[in-house]
Every structure is written in C-alpha cells, then in structure tokens.
Amino acid sequence: MNSDRDRRVLPEPQAPHDRVTALGIDEQTRAHDPVRPLAAPTGAPNVVLVVLDDLGFGSSSAFGGPCRMPTAERLADAGLRYTRFHVTALCSPTRQALMTGRNHHAVGMGATTEMATSAPGYTGFRPRSAATLARSLQGNGYSTAAFGKWHQTPPAEISPVGPFDRWPTGEGFDHFYGFMACEMNHWYPLLYQGTTPVEPTRTPEQGYHLSEDLVDHAVDWVQAQRTLTPDRPFFTYLAFGASHAPLHVAPEWAERYRGEFDGGWDRLREQTLARQKALGVVPEHADLSPWPGEVPHWDTLDDDRRALGVRFMETFAGFTEHADAQLGRFVAALEELGELENTLFLYLLGDNGASGEGGIEGTHVEHRLGHGLVDDPAEMIGHLGEIGGPESYPIAPVGWALAMNTPYQWTKQVASHLGGTRDGLVVHWPRGIVESGGLRHQFHHVIDVLPTVLDCAGIPLPTSVDGTPQQPVDGVSMRYTFNAATAADRRRTQYFEMCGNRGIYHEGWTAVTRHGIPWDMVSAHGGGFRDDVWELYDLERDPSQAHDVAAEHPERLAQLRDLFLVEAARNQVFPLDDRVTERENPQLAGRLDLVGDRRSVTYRGSTRRLIEESTPNVKNRSHAVVADVEVPGDGGRGVLAAQGGRFGGWALYVLEGRACYVYNYFGLRRHVVRATGPLTSGRHEVRVDFTYDGGGVGRGGTATLRVDGTPVGSVRVDETIPYYFSFDETFGVGVDLGTPVSEDYAPGDNAYTGRVHTLRIDLEPATEDDDPCGFERRVMVAH
C-alpha cells in the first residue's frame, strides 16, 4: 500500500520487476504489477505559498497598515494572523531559507545572489544536502509550479548553457514562469518559461502588467493540473515582484490613495500603531520605536519634497493593492475549482522589512542611489507625473519605509532590528484550522515553513535526496499553534545577520547591533565590527524594541553576545562582510563569473538575454566592441549590440544607415557618437573603442567609433557606471530587448534589418588603481 512506502529517501528506490515466467503473452498466467509512482499521503492538502516583496509589518491593512489588501484580510479573517513571524532582512536569503528550512548562511545565501563571494556562507550555491520544499513535495506525488521572482540561482549559472539544477525546474518545480533576478521592470519584463527566455506578447499601452501576467499563468496552470491529474495535490509558489522597486503600477491604482498620505510619515506611524493595537497584532503596551536621527521628520520638508514623497507613497500603496487584487483572482479560481477548503495557504506579507534603499529623497531611478547618486528633488518634481510609469524606475524615501515597518525600528538590510526582520504571515486552511480570525503570537521564523508544510501533508523530513544525505533542518513545524492559541513557543533561539547588522533572540530577549545604514551602499561601511555598539531589549515588556536596557543588564547582554558567536560560527556567518554595491560587481566581490579570465569573447548574431555576469565586464576598463555585419542596400537600421536599458547601459546601432554608439549614464545623460556618413551595402566591421581614463572606478573615457578601421567620430564620456548597469536588463546581439538604451529606437521594434555575423568584446586588464577593493577581493578568494 502507498502508506507503507518509505518517504525518507527521494526519489523512492525503484522496486524490482516481476520475474518473466512465460515465453509469450499467451502463456502468461497472471498480470504484472503496474508501476505505481509514490503518491501523496491520503488527504494531503494542496499547498499555496505566496510571497510579497519589501512590504514591511505595518504596510498591509491585514496588519493595520495603510495599503488596502482585501485578499489578505479575507484569508486572515477566515484563518490566522502570525504577529511574531520573522525573515532574514534581504530577498535571496529569505527565499533560500524558506525553500530549504535551513538558516540562510548554512545554505550559502548570506546575502543576495548578486552579492555572493567565495566565503562558504555567501557563495549563493545551495548545497545538495539541503533539498528544497518543492523537491520533497514533488518526490511525494505533488504537482509543483513556481511563478514570479526566483532570485536563488547563482548568476554564473543563469545562461543558455546552465547548468540548470539550481533553476526552479531543477529544484523541484515541474513548471516555472517568472524572472530570475532580484527585481523586474513590470512594464517590460524579461521572463523565463522553464529555462527558455520569453517576452510578453503585449505592451503597457495594450494593458500589460507583470503582476497580472503572473496570476494569469498561475490560474491556467492550476486549472490544467486539476483537469489532467485531479488525484494529485498541487504546490503553487507565487512570488510577486511587488512591492520591490521599481514601483510600477497604472496611475488609476495610485489615484485610489490621492490625498491619503498628505499628513506625512510621522502621522502615518501613529495612525498605523493605533490600528494595529485595535486588531491585536501588537500589544496595547507597545510604543513607537525611536526615529533614526539621520531621517528628517515630515514637518521639516519643503513643498517639493512633500509633493514627491506623497506621490511615491501613493504609488507604493497602489502597487501593493494591485498585487493583492491579482492574488484575489487566483483565490477565486481555487474556489471555482472547489479546492480552497483543502488548500494550506500561506501568505507571507514581505520577505524583509520595507526598503530604506530609496534614501532620504527617494529616487526616480533606483540604480542611481545604489551607486551613491542622489536625485535632486528640484529635478524630480518635473517628472512627478511619470512616477510609476514606464519612464520611471522609482523607489520611495526611507521615511515611508520606516512608517511601513511600524512600530519597529529600521528597515530592510538591518537584520538587527525588527523593522528589517518581522513581517506579517497569514495562514488559511479551513480543513485544518478550527478558529477563524485567530491571532498567533508565538515566535517563528521563515525556516519554519518547510517543516510546517511537510507536517500538514503527512510527509517526513527526507534523510536522503537524489543520493545526497541531508543536513539537519533548522526550522520547527508551526502546526502545533494552529488550534492552540496559547501554546508555548517551540522556537527559543534565532540568530540574525545581514551586511554586518546582527542580532540574537533568546527566550524573549534580543541583543542587537546595527552596523551600517541601508541607503549608504557605496561610500561608507560601518567601521570595525569589534567597535559596534550592542543594544538589549526585553520583548515581553518592550515588544517594539523602543527602550534599550543594555546599561541595566550588562551580564545578560554579554551572555547573548556569546550566544550570537556560537550560532554564527555554527551557521557559517563569518567572516562578516558589510559591502553592498561593491559586491554586485563580480570582480570586486571575488566570486566566479562565466567569462572568468578571458579577455575576448565572440558572440553570434542570435545571442540574446545574457545577464551581466555571463558577459565580459566592460566597466572600469578600456575595451572594444567589434561587429562584423552585413549591411542591406538601404544602409539598414536597428541594434547591433546592447547591454542594459533605459536607466543605464550602452548600445552600438545603426540609425538611418549611419553607425552610432551611445553610453547611457543612469538615464541622466546619453553620450552619443554618430558616423558622419552612411554605411554602404555589403560586409563591414563596425567598431567602438572605449579608452578608459583609469585612476579608480566610475571614471570617464572616450568612445571612438570606427568603420572598417577608419575613425568616423568620437564622444567624451565624463563618468561611467562602476558596479552594475541593471538587475533586470540584459545583453543581446542584433536587438535590444526590454527597455531601450537609446531614445533613437523604440522598444520591441529595434532588431537590426541587416545581419550581424559576429559580435566580439575585447577587454584590457583592469589596473590596481581601478580596483580599489582588490585587497578585499583577494581575501574573499582566499576563503
């Protein structure tokens, strides 16, 4: 019987076939036993796991926040709200912990995949000894599918040649439709179906939006699954890009909040706390946590900054509500199929706290602030109406992030304080949860999701998966709380660390130290780790970490600091690394990339959709881009090669028969050189030589355009992008997919009308002067 089969070894060892006892079928005396794949346990529920991005504990109306989320409220009112649920303070680490049930450093994800290094806790490579939740469910008879943001595959493996075992379809999902990076343009996304690149079939003008597209695909899949294999439960993982930057949503959704944030972030914190107490998601004695002195209060802002701030927040709220509304369509589809009652539905309202990476002013283009460039409000106000639309790539000011994390301190990245690590969790399972609208105050962590799901499905933790013995699961099942509101906590200790910010929870107390400032991602680190000042909080008396009692309890603080060292050492946290943007350049981070030490790479004309880490790194060094092209009789038009997009990158292209090159500096300035005359028909070499000034990162250079070796123009580029062009855009030959690098050609209609035979990129070695982090890089390589 199926119930007697051992589920601890996946895949299940193949049973021996019956002996053949006859020469021909006419002599066979009994039928052979059919092959019966391991089926899910009888009555095992469907599982839906939904993750919103960069939301914060105080964002959703389900937890007292200002963003109206009727789907979250509906599921919570018929299920449970978890008020002390914790994440890791950054995207990839939370997702890796979610999928594996292990602490993020213990599975190599101490930071995002784009910030990986060679240190064991930070490689970005999930060890085979930590199989995913999807793989365990798949191996036990579930149909599995993932939609949306993945952000767990090492960048060096995101290419057409793989390997693909750390892509979603290699980690236990039968089907995947979504994106691989930390964020995505919601108007012009670059997506994958399985491991195949795909682009939307509609434009924003035709009504396209990524959140809607993801839910369309999720609904189609679950409907097909119930039609074709109704005897199999399903696992659907739906990870929205909302509400991570860029804040992209149609204006009518932002308009729903017109005027609601005119009172500013200080007032919003007070209003949110009052609603939270009324809901019971924070205790009556909770105080607002201290306001960081680095962040201005609302009443100190001038009119332009207030107008910008309001529009940023209206856009964030509309973006969030829009995503929740799309999820409502998915819930409606489950109801129509009759599956909602027996679906274990976990709705995680954030993978970290709301993001403070928008800085003091917010920004029209997120990548600028990541490189230390602060947008001038006097300039941004002229683009107020563009915020949220295709011409923008916005992220809101940190003041709103602090309000979205009410009542807690600090934001995303800051793993020391609850503002970075506490998010709301809604659990809905009518067949397994008796109480409707219940509150659960037990301390839990994202690593507890995997054991909870397997417990509810009646599936044991596997001891071996695909031939690899499994390392211990760090999480504990939360099922003991489902029908026991006052059950004693089963999670007594949990460490936290991100970008050098660190903390430890133990039996109602937290010791924490904030090392850096989330929006200062380039110029300054937090100084020496040994010099960091630790704080101490008694969460029973002070649930919002509002009152530091380190001076009153030095012995307890010392004990907790020692406990952090023990937990950190056990989980591969050391050496601590506080670099942020620097680590997003593989040369400076010291991790492997696909190009390695090669100084020249030649591509064919069909090359598409390569991320930055699978192409030669042209930043901070002299280089050449050489195109071997066949020019049509009319001189041709379109893109020969492009990297990046509207908000940063470069492109070599043909306009009205003339060769052109553009260097796009964060969308602020486009440096363009155009040949003086048109190309003649036939085969030609179109080349640009970029001569870098040197002397550091992000310096200027001169781009010289040549046709068949003859200079036809040059342009001075005053500054260059030092660390990354984009997280969501790619490199392509013969076309510029996504948003266009140049305004000389349109998105979706820029393929070269001639033929690109080959495209070669040649690199000159970067000098020590152009690698200011060379010492740190060598240290990390040594590890």
Residues 417 and 343 in one domain: yes
Q: Is the pLDDT of residue 762 over 50?
A: yes
Q: How confident is the model at residue 550 (pLDDT cuts 50, 70, 90)?
A: very high
| Co-location of 546 and 596 in the same domain | no
Mean pLDDT of all residues in the chain? 95
Same domain, 407 and 473: yes
> How much is the average pLDDT of 60-64?
98
In the predicted structure, residue 523 carries a pLDDT above the cut 80:
no
Q: Are 501 and 409 contained in the same domain?
A: no
Ranges 30-34, 465-469, 632-636: which has the least confidence: 30-34
459 in any annotated domain: yes
Query: What per-residue confidence (pLDDT) applies to 725?
Result: 96
DSSP string, 457-495: HT-PPPSEETTEEPPPP-----GGGTT-TTPPPS--EEE
CB 460 within 8 A of CB 433: no
Boundary residue ending a domain (584, 619, 653): 584
Residue 587 has pLDDT above 90, yes or no: no
CB 590 within 8 A of CB 582: no
- 514, 609: one domain: no
**Res 766: pLDDT:** 65
- Assigned domain for 21 exists: no
The mean pLDDT value for 596-603 works out to: 94
Please say which residue of 562, 584, 606 terminates a domain: 584
Does residue 10 lie in a domain region? Answer: no
254 lies in the same domain as 364 = yes
> Are 616 and 537 in a shared domain?
no
Residues 689 and 601 in one domain: yes
Is the model's pLDDT at 524 over the cut of 70?
no
Domain assignment present for 32: no
pLDDT at residue 257 greater than cutoff 50: yes
Contact 647, 393 (CB under 8 A): yes
- For residues 689, 694, 696, 697, the Cα torsion angle rounded to the nearest 10 degrees is 0
Residue 196, domain member (yes or no) = yes
Which residues sit opposite 750 in a β-bridge?
none
Q: Taking residues 629-653, report their average pLDDT.
A: 98
β-strand pairing of 191-193 with 196-198? antiparallel
Is residue 48 pLDDT above 60, yes or no?
A: yes
Question: Would you state the pLDDT for residue 781?
Answer: 29
> Is the pLDDT assigned to residue 158 strictly greater than 80?
yes
Mapped onto helix, strand or coil, the DSSP state of residue 718 is coil
Residue 36 lies in a domain: no
Q: Are 385 and 254 in contact (CB under 8 A)?
A: no
Instruction: State the total domains in the chain.
Output: 3
Boundary residue ending a domain (584, 605, 639): 584
**Residue 20: its pLDDT value, please?**
81
Spatial separation of the C-alpha atoms in residues 31 and 25, rounded to whole Å:
10
The pLDDT assigned to 768 comes to 54
pLDDT at 232 over 80: yes
Q: What is the DSSP letter of 666?
A: T
Residue 296: domain span:
46-488
pTM: 0.95
Residue 767 lies in a domain: yes
The CATH number linked to 528 is 3.30.1120.10
Name the pLDDT band for 769 (thresholds 50, 70, 90): low
Question: Which CATH number belongs to the domain containing residue 726 in this structure?
Answer: 2.60.120.200
User: At 57, phi and psi to the nearest 5?
Assistant: -60, -35
SS3 347: strand
- Note whether 437 and 502 are same-domain residues: no
- Shared domain check, 599 and 533: no
Domain CATH number, residue 368: 3.40.720.10
Q: What is the pLDDT of residue 767?
A: 63
Residue 780 in this model has a pLDDT that exceeds 70 = no
Asked if residue 35 belongs to a domain, the reply is: no
Q: Are residues 568 and 613 in the same domain?
A: no
475 or 585: which leads in pLDDT: 475
632 and 707 assigned to the same domain: yes
